[in-house]
Structure 1
Amino acid sequence: MISQILLALWLVAVAAGHSQHDSQKSVAGPLQSLWYNNLPGDGGTQADSVFSGISTFGRLPYQPCLSNPKVQYDIAFLGAPFDTGTSYRPGARFGPSGIRQGSRRLNLYGGYNVPLQTNPFNSWATVLDCGDIPSADRQLSYDNTWALHQIEEGHYNLLSRAPATDAMKTGPAKHGKTLPRIITLGGDHTITLPLLRSINRAYGPVSVIHFDSHLDTWRPKVFGGSPSDVASINHGTYFYHAAQEGLLANDTNIHAGIRTTLSGPSDYDNDGYCGFEIVEARAIDKIGTEGIIQKIIDRVGTKNPVYLSLDIDTLDPAFAPATGTPETGGWSTRELRTILRGLEGLNLIAADIVEVAPAYDTNAELTTMAAADVLYEIMSIMVKKGPLSRMMDGLNSDVGEL
């Protein structure tokens, strides 16, 4: 009896080991050679073609991180399927699954980012897809207050773990910790408020780069009314609340791509009260992508921890039609990707992409592919920058020079 128990435990351990090291393999045993040819350079770890298999971001290994506290990573993708804070077209609750679908081809040829000269899929970093924040008992659909609490706690649970790399080195988080980076797939833009609450618990107030066609700093009485606390928090007011709660580093935040109509010039005055500078989309006609990049860098600085929030409606509807509140006159996908690459020197600690509503996309999946490609650039920047502990190395060297 004891020998049978020991044998069973050994088989479980072997299976767990194979699951950990061969997470991409779906076939094992005598038939494995039919699917894994061990061609030079592929390590024999990829069996499925890009149009088969389950969808994870960029076909990354999947781990149910929220239910397994022992999982470690340096960068984790996390879905937040929430869209009941939107004011126009719903559907961003399907954004996480749509973005994953649009990301299937990202590492088809190996994943090397030519402009940034890095490969985010094959580097020092352990990168995982941790799935979605679960909507237990459907609260993410029916109870906004509880949903925002779920998103904050789920994000903080992943953010506050020790990373796979440099966990014991000094980092920029509170108490000198080095933390992993979390990239969140929305969801409408309301989710950025609980995400910033989580970031604040780990880092304190941070500088924010906000790519969007809308300001999203409206006072609740101006946007959506405020008959209740629940109604006052939506995808147009979350930055107002973030400023009120002290989540933003004053006067180091910036909007980029703005082109919406306003209730009046006073909206810009209120926006300044929240600590943002504005770069309108039309500025690209005069200063080009390089000018946009420089304005962002000058505003947030190269030393501060930076959070990046990107609404897919930054892109013109010609390039990203599947979004909740489309605005014409936006940037092209190429322009946005160029601007993002220009931010490689910044200290991105986390990011989100929001307002992808696949139901309004074309059959060609234009929006979901654009969203995936934008995240590919963001992930590449994080990988190229190295572990967040290196941010402290740069700060220490500056102190030495003084």
Structure 2
Amino acid sequence: MLLATLLSLLLQGLRWQFVDSHATHDPKSSPKDAARIDELKRKWTTDWAFSGISTFAHLPHTRCLVDLDQKYDIAIIGAPFDTAVSYRPGARFGPRAIRAASARQTSFRGFNHRAGFNPYENWATIIDCGDIPVIPFDNALALEQMTDALEELLSRNSNIYDSAATDAAKTLVKDKKVPKIVTLGGDHTVALAALRALNKYHGPLAVLHFDAHLDTWDPIKYPSAWSSDQVKLNHGSMFWLAQTAYDPPLIFPNASVHAGLRTRLSGVDFDDYHDDTRQGWYRIEADEIDDVGVQGVVAAILDNLGKELPVYLSVDIDVIDPGIAPGTGTPEPGGWTTREMIRILRGLEGLNLVGADIVEVAPAYDGPGEQTALAAAQIVFEILTSMVKQGVQEERDKMQSARGSRHLNVDEGKSESTAQAPIKDEL
């Protein structure tokens, strides 16, 4: 019995020694193991378009909101929220659909031939930060969640700034210190959360808004015998809120543009347009492209946005005709083609984009080929291209030389018929 006990203790000691030696072993300390790890990475870390976990363009994924060590220059974040829509719900599944549709985008095949640039193989660290866990039961609380999440992402120093080794190097990239965000919606209300968050770092913004609809409607334009504070927050009134519910307004006066409009208006006259003009917007109708072409649309946008203002780019997928992109909540016939939309975005290089979104993708109404989600994923690719290319000084110099020069001030652009008193804040 004594011999058996001693033998058992001896074996146990050997076993713990064996475990401990492996638990504390650092594979990188062994050249042989390090070479093996490199070989395994070479063999098993490159996915096909159809393989791998679904992140945008197969980008690295981390929960940026809780990982303080993760560095990025551009954060892609999903906002699966759709309880402020006025027609068809379903955009809460938009982020998932857009990521799946981006599967054919990869860093090693990401050269944008229209721009002569690969956004995934340049200075910017682009990360898929997952989704904001937006509550579906309380719109006011959801807005606070989304705002807080985006503020958190913007509060971190960018990777390129933190990676600068000296104070002089940090000075050279000071304009990149605040990272950029691209939000995958979700209904269009997410734009209000983004404007609230971005204002803390950039002040009032100019907005470039691609949409079939104005989204500057006073909430009273949605008639009902029932009312509450909650009904003021909806995907057709968020820009009205941005300009009337905050002091100072979140949107810079008379420097923002709608493009692709073809909405029906309220009532029996042009009062919706008069309200929109008083809020300082310039409107480009969808069918104007037939008269002025893509370059005319681009010129009108650049002429109104100026050169220096920080710009928030907000793209409602319904700017594209529903015959091409049916998977959206409020479809309107007569929109632009995907090709026209891409060409317009390519013509807008040089805008000082500080944030962007692609919203209202509702995959339940999409076709079996996922054409709406594919269009959205391509739009994100174009946005990322412009953001990264704008961060390259020699590219920025070339872009600025091609920009328009008119920068509206508060009093310009108001005709007698529309120069009315400011809209009263009803919140």
TM-score bracket for this pair, using the shorter chain length: 0.7 to 0.9
Q: By how many angstroms is 1:109 displaced?
A: 6.1
C-alpha distance in 1 between matches for 2:21 and 2:281 = 62
Residue 195 of structure 1 aligns with which residue? 194
C-alpha distance in 2 between matches for 1:131 and 1:141 = 17
Contact 1:239 1:274 in 2 (8 A): no
Indicate whether 1:361 and 2:366 are aligned: yes
Contact 1:321 1:360 in 2 (8 A): yes
Indicate whether 1:260 and 2:263 are aligned: yes
Q: By how many angstroms is 1:5 displaced?
A: 7.9
C-alpha distance in 2 between matches for 1:73 and 1:130 = 10
Q: By how many angstroms is 1:166 displaced?
A: 3.0
Deviations 1:151-206 (A, max 9, x none): 0000110012100113533778xxx7721110000000011111110011111101
Distance 1:36 1:216, change over 3 A: same
Query: Is 369-378 or 218-227 further displaced after alignment?
Result: 218-227
Residue 242 of structure 1 aligns with which residue? 242
Q: By how many angstroms is 1:347 displaced?
A: 0.7
Q: By how many angstroms is 1:7 displaced?
A: 7.0
Q: TM-score when scaled to structure 1? A: 0.84
Residue 114 of structure 2 aligns with which residue? 115
Q: By how many angstroms is 1:8 displaced?
A: 4.5
Distance 1:345 1:227, change over 3 A: same
C-alpha distance in 1 between matches for 2:137 and 2:69 = 31
C-alpha distance in 2 between matches for 1:3 and 1:68 = 34
C-alpha distance in 2 between matches for 1:182 and 1:343 = 18
C-alpha distance in 2 between matches for 1:134 and 1:387 = 34
Indicate whether 1:294 and 2:296 are aligned: no
Q: By how many angstroms is 1:45 displaced?
A: 4.2
Alignment of 1:373-392 (within 5 A): 373-386=378-391
Deviations 1:316-352 (A, max 9, x none): 0011100000000000000000000111111111100
Query: Is 163-172 or 289-298 further displaced after alignment?
Result: 163-172
1:164 equivalent among 153, 159, 162: 159
Instruction: State, as a whole percentage, how many aligned pairs show the same letter.
Output: 47
Residue 123 of structure 2 aligns with which residue? 124
Q: AA paired with 2:351?
A: L
Q: AA paired with 1:307?
A: Y
Bigger CA radius of gyration: 2
When the two chains are superposed, the root-mean-square deviation of aligned CA atoms in Å is: 2.9
Q: By how many angstroms is 1:223 displaced?
A: 2.6
Residue 416 of structure 2 aligns with which residue? none
C-alpha distance in 2 between matches for 1:6 and 1:68 = 31
Residue 56 of structure 1 aligns with which residue? 55
2:331 equivalent among 311, 322, 326: 326
Residue 348 of structure 2 aligns with which residue? 343
Q: TM-score when scaled to structure 2? A: 0.80
C-alpha distance in 2 between matches for 1:336 and 1:112 = 19
Q: AA paired with 1:101?
A: A
Q: AA paired with 1:251?
A: N
Q: AA paired with 1:235?
A: H
- Give unpaired runs (5+ residues) of structure 2: 1-15, 29-34, 163-169, 401-427
Contact 1:322 1:367 in 2 (8 A): yes
Contact 1:224 1:231 in 2 (8 A): no
C-alpha distance in 2 between matches for 1:96 and 1:193 = 18
Distance 1:288 1:159, change over 3 A: same
Contact 1:209 1:255 in 2 (8 A): yes
Deviations 1:75-112 (A, max 9, x none): 11000000000010000000000000010002286110
- Give unpaired runs (5+ residues) of structure 1: 15-27, 38-43, 396-402
Contact 2:161 2:176 in 1 (8 A): no
Contact 1:166 1:387 in 2 (8 A): no
Contact 1:171 1:179 in 2 (8 A): no
Residue 207 of structure 1 aligns with which residue? 206
Q: AA paired with 2:262?
A: R
Distance 1:260 1:157, change over 3 A: same
C-alpha distance in 1 between matches for 2:161 and 2:230 = 40
Distance 1:181 1:391, change over 3 A: farther
C-alpha distance in 1 between matches for 2:204 and 2:232 = 22
C-alpha distance in 2 between matches for 1:224 and 1:68 = 45
Distance 1:206 1:269, change over 3 A: same
C-alpha distance in 2 between matches for 1:170 and 1:268 = 44
C-alpha distance in 2 between matches for 1:302 and 1:350 = 16
Residue 273 of structure 1 aligns with which residue? 278
Q: AA paired with 2:229?
A: D
Q: AA paired with 1:169?
A: T
Distance 1:279 1:2, change over 3 A: farther
- Say how many residue pairs are matched: 365
Q: By how many angstroms is 1:273 displaced?
A: 2.0
Query: Is 75-84 or 1-10 further displaced after alignment?
Result: 1-10
For the residue of structure 2 that corresponds to 1:67, the secondary structure is coil
Deviations 1:366-401 (A, max 9, x none): 00000000110000001111179x989x99xxxxxx
Residue 150 of structure 1 aligns with which residue? 145
Alignment of 1:18-167 (within 5 A): 36-37=42-43, 45-46=45-46, 48-107=47-106, 110-135=109-134, 140-167=135-162
For the residue of structure 1 that corresponds to 2:171, the secondary structure is coil
Residue 233 of structure 2 aligns with which residue? 233
Q: AA paired with 2:233?
A: I
Contact 1:223 1:236 in 2 (8 A): no
